[in-house]
């Protein structure tokens, strides 16, 4: 036996146009497109109404996603489903280095090694970056940036070999 709907979605013409325009935009993420399409599918005023299961199947999501999207729309409106809220603990939110800072650190690592040292170490790079960059950067962030390039600080890394690796990326 099917239980009755708890939330009824009735969109105005303006809301429907706004949702369709969000779907059409090229920079809209897949998640936001799915959310908008779910709300349009479940709209009781315009077109035929799909069940939660049918909407989940057509949009390629699980039924819980449909339910959560409907609750979000009822509580927060269109703005709630079109704005992605990032968790403050996510990797993108916690990044210390942007692309320019990473490039600058790689440039430092490709440069000449300080006198009295055979190779760059994370601590040496950290000290040099602290002097040259505005934002203080830890050795872990520097290690992650260099790991992306495929350089290995445990071996003797010459500037030419690191530049060659960067060109191959």
Local mean pLDDT, 10-residue blocks, the chain (169 residues): 71 92 91 93 86 91 92 91 76 69 86 89 89 82 81 54 61
Distance from C-alpha of 135 to C-alpha of 126, rounded to nearest angstrom: 11
pLDDT attached to residue 166: 60
The angle formed by the CA atoms of residues 58, 61 and 62, to the nearest 5 degrees, is 115
Residue 27 located in a structural domain? yes
pLDDT attached to residue 95: 66
Query: Structural domain of residue 23, as residue ranges?
Result: 13-82
Residue 127 located in a structural domain? yes
Domain match, 108 and 78 both: no
Residue 91 located in a structural domain? no
Domain match, 112 and 162 both: yes
Residue 52 located in a structural domain? yes
Domain match, 103 and 75 both: no
Residue 6 located in a structural domain? no
Whole-structure pTM over 0.85, yes or no?
no
pLDDT attached to residue 1: 46
With beta carbons less than 8 A apart as the criterion, state whether 146 and 153 touch: yes
Structure tokens at 2: 């099917």
pLDDT attached to residue 34: 93
Residue 104 located in a structural domain? yes
The angle formed by the CA atoms of residues 134, 135 and 137, to the nearest 5 degrees, is 130
Domain match, 105 and 65 both: no
Total domains in the fold of the chain: 2
pLDDT attached to residue 39: 93
Report the C-alpha dihedral over residues 29, 31, 33, 37, rounded to 10 degrees.
180
Residue 33: CB atoms within 10 A of its CB come to: 17
pLDDT attached to residue 65: 92
pLDDT attached to residue 91: 62
Residue 1 located in a structural domain? no
Domain match, 107 and 47 both: no
Distance from C-alpha of 106 to C-alpha of 155, rounded to nearest angstrom: 16
């Amino acid at each position: 036996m099917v239980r009755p709907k708890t939330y009824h979605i009735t969109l105005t013409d303006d809301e429907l146009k706004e949702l369709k325009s969000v779907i059409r935009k090229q920079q809209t993420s897949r998640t936001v497109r799915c959310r908008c399409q779910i709300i349009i599918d479940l709209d009781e005023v315009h077109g035929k109404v799909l069940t939660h299961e049918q909407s989940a199947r057509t949009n390629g999501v699980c039924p819980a996603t449909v339910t959560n999207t409907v609750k979000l729309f009822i509580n927060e409106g269109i703005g709630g489903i079109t704005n992605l809220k990032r968790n403050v603990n996510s990797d993108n939110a916690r990044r210390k280095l942007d692309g320019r800072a990473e490039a600058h650190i790689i440039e430092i690592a490709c440069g000449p090694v300080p006198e009295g040292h055979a190779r760059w170490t994370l601590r040496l790079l950290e000290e040099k970056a602290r002097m040259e960059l505005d934002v203080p950067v830890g050795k872990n962030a520097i290690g992650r940036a260099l790991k992306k390039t495929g350089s290995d600080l445990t071996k003797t890394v010459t500037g030419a070999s690191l530049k060659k690796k960067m060109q191959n990326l």
